[in-house]
Amino acid sequence: MPLVFVHGVSVRAGESYDRQLEFRDEAFRQHVLRNPTAVVHNPYWGDLGASAAWNHASLPGERLLMLDALSNQDPVPVEQVLIAEEAAGHTRPRTVLLDVAIQDFGEAVDLLISTAVEESGIEAQELVEVATELTEYAAAEPTPDWVHEVANDYTFLERLRFESEAWAARRSRAGGGGAQQAVIERDIAAVTSVWDGLRVAIDRIRDAIANWHWGQPGRSLRRTIQPYVTNFFGDIFVYLKSRGTLAEPGAIVERIAAALREAEAAATPDDPTVVVAHSMGAAITYDVLTYFATDAYVDTFVTVGSQVSWFEEMKLFAASDPNVPNIRQSHAPRPHNVGRWLNVIDSSDYLSYAIEPIFRGVTDVTFDSGRGPLAAHTEYFKGMGFYRLLGRVVRAAHEGVLSSSD
């Protein structure tokens, strides 16, 4: 089935974007589409988002540090630092990941994988396969005793590889199935490159801790988060200002509409169209489907960490009806050109909103990443647990097992 992914705000092209796109596409193919050659459409609109006339000179703080935060370099997200701090109480540079693992083994695995997504030189397919295996191992063995037997982050990684590969081999011999085959059946060189990348990921996490300004945590947090927040709101304002009209739709609208129509043209009864839209990307896609491209049909619409319902409450969409709700109509209708609508909410994501109370014919699905508020919103698509959930709910919706009230 063709899949369209619409990204959210504060997304810009670059090496980090390319790596995340490759990883995300491969994870979609393995866990949602279950087709290694499936086409994933990625309409990019970040270049049409907010741009600062004075290159963000309005942001306070030391100029060099501010520019570092706005550069093309991709530091480890500050939320990952905060996760480690929370888990350890007082983070020790040699045992950052180990301290997290002792508190929450699954969280340590997720932290390691999400950081590795940013590393170049790792084949996306192999990374997804190793990440899936590690996630399944962590689910099967959530509190392994061996984490208390290792001395630091590097020995933790070595032991993690040994234990997870042994577990996968045992499962394979027992015929337990699962997403992966035994590691011995894989390309050893490719698998080794993934584990080398995971070691680099540990270095990035530890460097983030070492560079953390302990005496000025508020200022450090501001320098890291403020550029993201600035682009977050900037992109929203730019879209609302420039989305255009039916006669002259804006450039962002045209790109999303073209991707939706292209995917629909490739769809068949056996391979329906799936659209996954994140954050503001979900609001834009809804706006396009309900006003600018009502001829485009989406079989399954999945909104993730979205603000669609909040935008509708404020009546910001081009097709919003100011008279709803009323005594006869308690909810806004699901768009006529959307067959199924699933909305994923992370309980830790302060920017994700429930849709069932506002729209008819929608199913809210809860996902608990266990991350802090910023990471919960920005890193849905870096964790294998999310893709496994997404695959289950999409297949259940197509099979009629997961339904929403009409």
Q: Write the single-letter amino acid at 103.
A: Q
Do residue 324 and residue 381 come from a single domain? Answer: yes
The pLDDT of residue 56? 74
The pLDDT of residue 398? 80
Residue 132 located in a structural domain: yes
Do residue 97 and residue 194 come from a single domain? Answer: yes
- pLDDT, tens only, 155-187: 999 999 999 999 988 888 887 554 444 444 556
Do residue 113 and residue 45 come from a single domain? Answer: no
Cα 147–Cα 148–Cα 154 angle in degrees, nearest 5: 55
Do residue 385 and residue 333 come from a single domain? Answer: yes
pTM (two decimals): 0.85
Do residue 270 and residue 388 come from a single domain? Answer: yes
- pLDDT, tens only, 255-307: 999 999 999 999 888 888 999 999 999 999 999 999 999 999 999 999 999 99
The pLDDT of residue 62? 47
Residue 127 located in a structural domain: yes
Do residue 279 and residue 158 come from a single domain? Answer: no
Give CA 112 to chain center in angstroms: 15
Do residue 99 and residue 159 come from a single domain? Answer: yes
Least Cα distance to 6 among 295, 231, 282 occurs for 282
Residue 321 located in a structural domain: yes
Contact in structure between 315 and 357 (CB atoms under 8 Å): no
Counting every residue written for the chain, the total comes to 406
Would you state the structure tokens that stand for residue 210, as one six-digit string? Answer: 């070492």
Task: Write down which residue in 176, 211, 246 finishes a domain.
Answer: 211
Contact in structure between 334 and 324 (CB atoms under 8 Å): no
- Could you check whether the bond before residue 144 is cis, i.e. omega within 30 degrees of 0? no
Cα 90–Cα 94–Cα 97 angle in degrees, nearest 5: 75
Number of domains in the chain: 2
Would you state the structure tokens that stand for residue 238, as one six-digit string? Answer: 């730019």
Residue 191 located in a structural domain: yes
- pLDDT, tens only, 16-33: 899 999 999 999 999 999
Do residue 43 and residue 97 come from a single domain? Answer: no
φ/ψ of 397, rounded to 5, equals -65, -40
Q: Where are the alpha helices (DSSP H) in 174-279?
A: 188-210, 217-242, 251-266
Residue 223 located in a structural domain: no
Do residue 155 and residue 249 come from a single domain? Answer: no
Do residue 29 and residue 105 come from a single domain? Answer: no
Contact in structure between 284 and 257 (CB atoms under 8 Å): no
Residue 269 located in a structural domain: yes
Which DSSP state fits 380? G
Give the CATH number, domain containing residue 345.
3.40.50.1820
Where the chain has pLDDT below 70, the residues are 60-93, 120, 176-187, 189, 208-227, 373-374, 401-406
Residue 232 located in a structural domain: no
Which DSSP state fits 310? H
Range of the domain at 130: 91-211
Do residue 389 and residue 291 come from a single domain? Answer: yes
Do residue 105 and residue 178 come from a single domain? Answer: yes
Which DSSP state fits 381? G
β-bridge pairing 338-346 and 298-304: parallel
At residue 54, the 3 state secondary structure works out as coil
The pLDDT of residue 209? 63
